[in-house]
Amino acid sequence: MKILVINGSPKGERSNTYKLTRAFLDGIKSVHGDDTEIAVLDVNKLNIKSCLGCFACWDKTPGRCCISDDMQGVIEKLLWADITVWSFPLYYFNVPGKLKCLIDRQLPMILPFMNTDTVGGGHPTRYDMSGKKNRHYIHLRLLHRRKQL
């Protein structure tokens, strides 16, 4: 089983969220043993520019972004993995900025139309993603104690 971890914390290995993710990976390894291959991508170390919103990846060069940076390698890893774990802390109830750039840049992976067969009537994927689980989220937030009035 191939597992990809996208570590979206700017703190890299020191991330508290990543510590939880490691515990999750240890659990998987204890069940699947040597069959487990794990790749970790540290978003903060990657060069991923913001999506330009030009839709070239849908019309001029289907499946290919016009920006040349590390994102093509990320897409290859997403296609490689059976399971993708998105590990990130909450930043203003959302994902950290660089991770949002990565998420947006997945646009070449989906097709430029919506389909009633897909979950929620969304865009079908350009690649065969059947059997892949790529919506595993581990995120950490501080629990702020509410002042009781």
Ligand X SMILES: Cc1cc2nc3c(=O)[nH]c(=O)nc-3n(C[C@H](O)[C@H](O)[C@H](O)COP(=O)(O)O)c2cc1C
- What does the binding site for ligand X look like in residue numbers (CB under 6 A)? 9, 11, 15-18, 89-93, 140-142
Instruction: State the residue number with the nearest CB to ligand X.
Output: 141
- Residue number, 58 or 91, with CB nearest to ligand X: 91
- Residue number, 42 or 71, with CB nearest to ligand X: 42
Residues whose CB falls within 8 Å of the CB of residue 65, separated by 6 or more in sequence, listed in order: 56, 57, 71, 72, 105, 107, 108
Nearest approach in angstroms of CB 17 to ligand X is 3
Nearest approach in angstroms of CB 88 to ligand X is 7
Nearest approach in angstroms of CB 89 to ligand X is 3
Pairing of strands 83-89, 37-42: unpaired
- Residue number, 18 or 86, with CB nearest to ligand X: 18
Give burial (CB, 10 Å; 0-12/13-18/19+) of 88: buried
Asked if residues 89 and 18 have their Cβ atoms less than 8 Å apart, the reply is: no
Residues whose CB falls within 8 Å of the CB of residue 47, separated by 6 or more in sequence, listed in order: 69, 70
Structure tokens at 12: 């890299």
- Residue number, 12 or 73, with CB nearest to ligand X: 12
- Residue number, 44 or 72, with CB nearest to ligand X: 44
Nearest approach in angstroms of CB 13 to ligand X is 10
Nearest approach in angstroms of CB 102 to ligand X is 16
Residue type, 65: C
